[in-house]
Amino acid sequence: MTSKARVVIVGAGFGGLNAARTLGKAGLRITVIDRKNFHTFQPLLYQVATAGLSPGEIAAPIRSILRSHKNVEVLMGEVTGFDLERRIVQIPDAEIPYDYLIIAAGATHSYFGHEDWEPFAPGLKTIEDALEIRRRVLLAFELAERQAAAGQSELPLNFVVVGGGPTGVELAGTLAEISRHALAHEFRSIDPRRTHILLIEGGARVLPTYPEDLSRSAEEQLRGLGVECRTSAIVTQIEPGAVDIGETRLPATVVLWAAGVAASPLGKKLGAACDRAGRVPVQADLSLPGHPEVFVIGDLAAAKDEQGKMLPGVAPVAIQEGKFVAKLIREEVRRSGSKPVGHGSSQRMAFHYWDKGSLATIGRAAAVAQFGKIHISGFVAWLSWLFVHILFLIGFRNRLLVFIQWAWSYVTYERGARLITGSTYLPGWTASSPGSTVTSEQHVVQEIHSGTPK
């Protein structure tokens, strides 16, 4: 086994997993390292955050996914650093040597230097993040009902989503949907349909990376669902219970952060000069300059297309990059044996991204889609979104369950996973018992941090 060339893959997201699967067919020794023991199907994270799906339905154990590939081993552990000269990956209690290294550590949310906002405005990148958002959203309705039932002044339910990209749009849309439907008839003292959902976007329009007509359509569909969109609005401060846009202070029961993305801090440990978003500049073959045996793919890579345009941080890019790098390594090893010595990256072919189009969901039967020149909105776009995502969901079992869930909720408007677990503290919610506040605040903060890479 050890005589074979050893490929170490850091991260089992879309990029790393597809690299591992492709190499699983080759006669190499593969080691996949991830902080988690499971792959998260990130496009459906917002469904966990809005109680539509359970974590187990959008995540699958990495070793189950790769079980059939006997030459692939999976290690759960946090990568602490690299020694590019000795060709070693460091994890807390061991050093893993490699002949080839593929780094696909992904991205996390960025608060643009306002990390102090995080406890009051959680982002959505991990299962833990999703559970924390779900906890806060559901808890807000429960506390409001309790307060109203006790004859106390009913606090208005204001949900603020910061960031009008795909994540912000689907969060806002789905929050509107559940407040108008799933929760509508289950409360006695409050009317969830009166929940106010505000989507704040710094740019001139929502879904800025999409064509203008689709942005317009998305805004119309959001309004149709009951979401207020405020564009060209910059958030200047976030505190428990409040969001500031310049001088105006908006009361906010729950604030969600979908505004910024930053590449994994692992990028900086490569010694390369990362860009502003922390992404690692790579060559045309996705290798690290000066290190043909090291590849960076997915959201962590600053890869450009033929026109020099930066490739977007979306799943299809990561998937294609993972397969490309894996095939490249497979070929190279077959030609020259394990060591890539003498193979300058210049001799390699360049990665080419095949853009199949982009899809953004907004809510129940609402979405926008672009396939080349074709732009679609509404139900048809939503159907294609649904089809594509259930199709690509890892693991047949999950696919079946998710489909049943979806069919069920579509008919009944029900949300299957409306559980409030963990603490019962809501930042800035005065009605919650002061006694429990302190400890549970610490708990919440810890929960959030435990969900984001240090």
Nearer to its own copies, 320 or 405 (CB): 405
Best CA proximity match to 102, nearest among 358, 315, 285: 285
* Backbone φ and ψ of 61, nearest 5°: -60, 130
Show the tokens assigned to 25. 């067919």
DSSP code string of 236-248? EEEETTEEEETTE
Any idea of the CA torsion for 41, 45, 46, 50, to the nearest 10 degrees?
A: 130
Using the minimum distance from each CB to its own copies, give the nearer residue, 185 or 356. 185
Q: What is the DSSP string of 101-138?
A: EEE---EEE--TT-GGGGGGS-B-SSHHHHHHHHHHHH
Q: Would strands 29-34 and 6-10 be described as parallel, antiparallel, or unpaired?
A: parallel
Q: Residue 133 is which amino acid?
A: I
How many angstroms separate the Cα of 146 from the Cα of each of 63, 155, 188, 425? Answer: 44, 11, 10, 14
Work out how close the CB of 363 gets to its own copies at its nearest, in angstroms, rounded to a whole number.
Answer: 20
We find the least distance from the C-beta atom of residue 446 to its own copies, in angstroms, to be: 5
Pair of tokens at residue 382: 């939503």
> CA 379: distance to chain centroid?
24
Residue 254 per-residue DSSP state:
E
Residue from 113, 126, 105 nearest 267 by CA? 105
Contact 74, 62 (CB under 8 A): yes
When the beta carbons of 380 and 400 are compared against its own copies, the nearer one is 400
Nearer to its own copies, 112 or 408 (CB): 408
Q: What is the closest distance, in whole angstroms, from the C-beta atom of residue 140 to its own copies in the complex?
A: 11
Phi, psi dihedrals of residue 166, rounded to the nearest 5°: -50, -45
Comparing CB distances to its own copies, the nearer of 29 and 389 is 29
Q: Give the side-chain half-sphere CA count within 13 A for 328.
A: 29
CA–CA gap between residue 304 and residue 286 (Å, rounded): 10
Q: Among residues 96 and 311, whose Cβ is nearest to its own copies?
A: 96
- The contacts of residue 383 (CB under 8 Å, 6+ apart) are none
Q: Which is nearer to its own copies, 90 or 384 (CB)?
A: 90
Closest distance of CB 49 from its own copies, Å: 13
Closest CB 118 distance from its own copies, rounded Å = 16
Return the number of the residue (43 or 316) whose C-beta is nearest its own copies.
Answer: 43
We find the least distance from the C-beta atom of residue 167 to its own copies, in angstroms, to be: 20
**In whole angstroms, what is the distance from residue 410 CA to residue 225 CA?**
15
Q: Which residue has the tokens 């990029």?
A: 15
Which one is catalytic: 57, 145, 170, 219? 170
d(CA 222, CA 234) in angstroms, rounded, equals 20
DSSP 4: S
> CB 178 → its own copies: shortest distance, Å?
12
Nearer to its own copies, 336 or 436 (CB): 436
Are 38 and 61 in contact, with CB atoms under 8 Å apart?
Answer: yes
Q: How far is the CB of 295 from its own copies (least distance, A)?
A: 22
Question: Least distance to its own copies from the beta carbon of 416, Å?
Answer: 5
Q: Is 201 a catalytic residue?
A: no
Whole-angstrom CA distances from 35 to 91, 106, 452 are 10, 12, 10
Give yes or no for a contact between 96 and 75, defined as CB atoms under 8 angstroms apart: yes
Catalytic annotation, residues: 170
